[in-house]
Amino acid sequence: MSAIPLIVLLGLLVALLVPVPGTAHAAAPADSTVGNLTGFSAAGPVYHLTAGQAEARVTFVSGQTFRVELAPDGKFSDPTGSDIVLPQGAAPVTRWRDAGDRYELSTSQVTLRAYKSPLRFALYRADGTKVWAESKGLTWNGTRTTQTLERGATEQFYGAGMQNGRGNTSHRGQTVEVGVDDNWNDGGHPNSVPFYLSTAGYGAFRNTYAPGTYAFTDPVATTEQENRFDAYYFAGPSAKDVIGQYTQLTGRPFLPPVYGLEVGDSDCYLHNANRGERHTLDSLKVADDYVKNDMPNGWMLVNDGYGCGYENLPQTSAGLQDRKMKTGLWTEDGIDKLADQVKAGQRIAKLDVAWVGDGYKFALDGCKDAYQGIEDNSDARGFTWAPESWSGAQRCGVQWSGDQSGSWEYIRWQIPTYAGATMSGLAYTSGDIDGIFGGSPKTYTRDLEWKSFLPAVMTMDGWAANDKQPYQYGEPYTSINRQYLKLKESLLPYTYSYSAEANRTGVGQVRPLALEYPNDPKAASDAAKYEFLSGEDFLVAPVYQDTAVRDGIYLPKGTWTDYWTGRVYQGPTTVNGYSAPLGTLPLFVKAGAAVPMWPGIRSYQDRTPSSPVAWDVYPQGTSSFTLYEDDGVTRQSRAGKSAQQKVTVRAPSSGAGDVTVDVGASNGTFQGKQTARPYQFTVHTGDAPAGLLLDGAALPKYTSKAAFDAASRGWWFDAADRGGVVQAKTQSLSTAKPFALRLLGASALGGKAPGSAAVVSSPPAQEVGAGVPATVPVDVTAGSRDATGVQLTLKAPAGWSVTAPAPVGRIPAGTTRRVQVTVTPPQNAAPGEAVLTASAAYRTTGQDRVTAQPFAVSAMPRPPVADTWASDMVWLGEGNGYGPPERDRSNGESGAEDGHPITLAGTVYPKGIGAHADSDIELYTGGRCTRFTADAGIDDEINGYGEVAFSVEADGKVLWTSPKVTGASATVPVDVPLGGARHVHLKITDTNNSKSGDHGDWAAAKFSCA
């Protein structure tokens, strides 16, 4: 990778960063601690307390929100002015009393104690319970101020904005930096927020532009780099309430236009050094490719590159609109031209160039100005993206985690990042699908799978070696990507309803488990770190390693069902060995869910006045969901032009019984509202009901999917769909009137006899050879009742042959029967993961049932039978940090075969592998090879810089690791015994957190094989 783009990028960021005072080598002055109280006065909701020269001020904002300021020199200041804190309502009624050793300042809900000797603060609720207390008075030293608080025995802490790699589990015992840095990778904090919340029932917001350090140790010490103290406190019964108070003060998350919740695409179409000369109108060809591939895409940034520029903007915008997409621009020239650009069709602004300047205020002002500029020049809602921001930015844009390189590690650390940011009122946080550098077809697909459950997401092109649209990698990736993008599209009414909730309450859709399960200690721990909730109903546990099996999925209290198979789990439990072949995102739905969907669309603009709303129902007990609707684009909703429709499900808590779905009237109105529409229902009962009634009248029953699809109304039970699902649909019904759908003799999720369902599985890590018959074991496990007449079938990829196994007469309850199935891949089977699906039809509790499970096997190339060069072998995996790894060439730049002859220390090698950290080349030796030899080093083309380490791994074990290697290091000889290993990984790892120049060579890489 060339150093130039990174240097330019960092240079722009340097201007943004706020210098941290006190970083010089001179000794910092000693801390001073506030002394004894020497004066007190009250003026309505404002109280002044003096302690010598220092002065404190307490201002109550609401019954549970108040502000504490301290000026060490007695002179108050407010650098943020009106930038962050919004005007609030009328101040609450307050009272005070002198309690001897302290003053008590109270509303009807809280009391702030101000102890006199020395001055210390403590917060109590009206019932006398302590919320927080200072263990010593406020301290300062001329460059920083610190508050020190007692820490509760089990108190947990969250917040501080976007903290890369953490945040969805507790900060207890950790030190968190709050301030924009230039680190967009694991450990960075690019969209910091000076706010945290505690499970003791409070939150604290430091009203400042200064960077800080929050140490959640014992005691808790929160420091800002300024010689003033200014904090707002929020006392609430729950974390959601605290987030609500914080966002009431600093601004609710904005309500995006509905196209902002569709996937976006970003690229440079003018003067693109990586792609050759193109023109802005060429973006329409890419838009056409989305349509041709039947893939959703809501908007396009058409100048996404430094110095890219644009032309023909009105024509481009009109062309994208014809393809049901909106136009966005990277504000590389600032926002002075925004009015004309918006009038020409721009509806999205990406801000990481426009506001580069001195500090967070520029970031916040840029967000607000661009947002307002869109609204001032169109009837649309403002919609911006920014990679560095501060408190208040949640009200005008999406917080984007910056430029990253696609990899498994990238996926891993992003999972906790976005859910954790929700705890700071950031409702829309996201990263590019598979980053803007590096990546691979597999990491792209895995990343897209889980990011489909983020409200806002985009894919960025033009920086990576290859374009990164979701159709670029071919099959099976294109089909999988389409499936998840269309699932995201169909879930728009669910996502949009949560966006409206965030705009109303401050709480975003993407949530850590601790937010919904605050009394579950595992929810705050690493047990739940690599999963999150999307709304209350979906639990998402992404695959973040190159594996087809996911371990350590924690399901909290409640009943959960596998979205894909219908398998039911009772929480709390930890699921290990979850079968997750490529294309299967570990995804669980909570019992009681009623999920609104728009079926069968590629764009929200595909909806017509007669389009249905579909409800995906998982009945258990009494539950409800309120669908929010408005016109999706304009600002009329702010004037009350919107509607809500509540659906309530009543079902048994477990087992058999009627299920009723009450669909309320849609209350409210807006332009384009459906006055009537058909409804569809998918009800996960497990067993067939006796009949369905719509407002008391029987719906017709059908016995096949074809007959059901051909009818305008009716129902049928699909025993083969996810353990047993009732499909029902109505004719068009007035949205002004309620109606009820009743399933007679049905059951709660899990069937009439809970636990009786059988499950199928297959052992992981199976390998089959191209053209060679292989035996694949499949396990069928009966539930709480015997399974009889078990017939197993195995669906394999096209071209594979499968020998059907004999039926199994009976599998006793709770036992497992292994069935051996013979499969033969074709001679030309592509190496890599192949997905098989095992289905078992059986009978239990008097019902015919079907259970199914996809799983992966690995199709292997033929192993080497003689000595062979690594560059001549089939590569099972070829992850690379920048551009593709090269065979018999250096890594070069971003394109394929653009490297040079491999050269180390002046020696030119005709054979070898040229790669770029972080790199992982996987080769299959099949146990036939005894040694691996090579010469390793950074290619001479880098001219002395770069720093990496090389390693050889085999069958999960590290066999050899080099010392750190720089561009000036001597060539490192590699000679590694393999001991009959079947899989070998050649890895190059960055060692100094700077991937610029990390062009590593495996020169003369050779396997000695029998």
Three-state SS string over 728-755 comes to EECCCEECCCCEEEEEECCECCCCCCCC
pLDDT tens digit sequence for 620-675:
999 999 999 999 999 999 999 999 999 999 999 999 999 999 999 999 999 999 99
Q: Which of 231, 229, 169 shows the shortest CA–CA distance to 199?
A: 169
Sign of CA dihedral 275, 276, 279, 284: negative
**Does the pLDDT of residue 22 top 90, yes or no?**
no
**Does the pLDDT of residue 1010 top 90, yes or no?**
no
> 359: pLDDT confidence band, cut at 50, 70 and 90?
low
pLDDT tens digit sequence for 466-506:
889 999 999 999 999 999 999 999 999 999 999 999 999 99
Question: What number is the average pLDDT over the span 501-512?
Answer: 98
Q: Give 944: exposed, middle or buried? Use CB within 10 Å, 0-12, 13-18, 19+.
A: exposed
d(CA 251, CA 247): 5
Residue 986 bridge partners (DSSP):
921, 952
**Percent of the residues in the chain that have a pLDDT greater than 90, as a whole number:** 85
Q: DSSP alpha helices (H): ranges in 349-476? A: 360-376, 408-422, 441-451
pLDDT tens digit sequence for 376-413:
999 999 999 988 889 999 999 999 998 889 999 999 99
- Phi, psi (degrees; rounded to nearest 5) at 41: -150, 155
> 13: pLDDT confidence band, cut at 50, 70 and 90?
very low
The pLDDT value recorded for residue 28 is: 66
User: Token pair 């020497």 is at which residue?
Assistant: 38
d(CA 150, CA 142): 24
C-alpha neighbours within 13 Å on the C-beta side of residue 359: 10
pLDDT tens digit sequence for 315-346:
999 999 999 999 999 988 778 899 999 999 99
pLDDT tens digit sequence for 573-587:
999 999 999 999 999
Greater model confidence, 998 or 514: 514
Report the range of poorest mean pLDDT among 330-339, 740-749, 754-763: 330-339
Question: What number is the average pLDDT over the span 101-118?
Answer: 98
Q: Give 255: exposed, middle or buried? Use CB within 10 Å, 0-12, 13-18, 19+.
A: buried
The pLDDT value recorded for residue 276 is: 75
b/e map 606-635, b = 16+ CB within 10 Å: ebeeeebbbbbbbbbeebebbbbbbbbbbb
The pLDDT value recorded for residue 23 is: 41
- Phi, psi (degrees; rounded to nearest 5) at 653: -70, -25
> Who contacts 607 (Cβ-Cβ below 8 Å, separation ≥6)?
598, 601
Q: Give 518: exposed, middle or buried? Use CB within 10 Å, 0-12, 13-18, 19+.
A: middle
* pTM assigned to the model: 0.90
Average per-residue pLDDT in the chain?
93
The pLDDT value recorded for residue 584 is: 98
Is residue 521 left, alpha or beta, with left meaning phi > 0 and alpha meaning psi from -120 to 50? alpha
d(CA 912, CA 423): 49
**Does the pLDDT of residue 99 top 70, yes or no?**
yes
**Does the pLDDT of residue 132 top 60, yes or no?**
yes
**Does the pLDDT of residue 9 top 70, yes or no?**
no
> 5: pLDDT confidence band, cut at 50, 70 and 90?
very low
How many residues does the structure list for the chain?
1010
Q: What is the largest CA-CA distance in the chain?
A: 91
Question: What number is the average pLDDT over the span 200-220?
Answer: 97
Report the range of poorest mean pLDDT among 225-234, 329-338, 607-616: 329-338
Q: Which of 461, 355, 462, 447 shows the shortest CA–CA distance to 408?
A: 447
Question: What number is the average pLDDT over the span 931-959?
Answer: 95
Question: What number is the average pLDDT over the span 804-823?
Answer: 97
Q: Tell me, what DSSP letter sits at residue 951? A: E
The pLDDT value recorded for residue 495 is: 98
Report the range of poorest mean pLDDT among 133-147, 162-176, 963-977, 983-997: 983-997
> 358: pLDDT confidence band, cut at 50, 70 and 90?
low
pLDDT tens digit sequence for 839-896:
999 999 999 999 999 999 999 988 898 999 999 999 998 888 888 899 999 998 777 7
> 356: pLDDT confidence band, cut at 50, 70 and 90?
very low
Do residues 948 and 998 lie in contact, with contact meaning Cβ atoms separated by under 8 Å?
yes
The pLDDT value recorded for residue 2 is: 32
**Does the pLDDT of residue 352 top 90, yes or no?**
no
**Does the pLDDT of residue 11 top 70, yes or no?**
no
Question: What number is the average pLDDT over the span 42-70?
Answer: 97
Distance of CA 956 to the CA centre of its chain: 28
Do residues 974 and 896 lie in contact, with contact meaning Cβ atoms separated by under 8 Å?
no
The pLDDT value recorded for residue 425 is: 98
**Does the pLDDT of residue 1 top 70, yes or no?**
no
pLDDT tens digit sequence for 272-320:
777 778 899 999 999 999 999 999 999 999 998 777 899 999 999 999 9
Report the range of poorest mean pLDDT among 23-37, 772-786, 954-968: 23-37
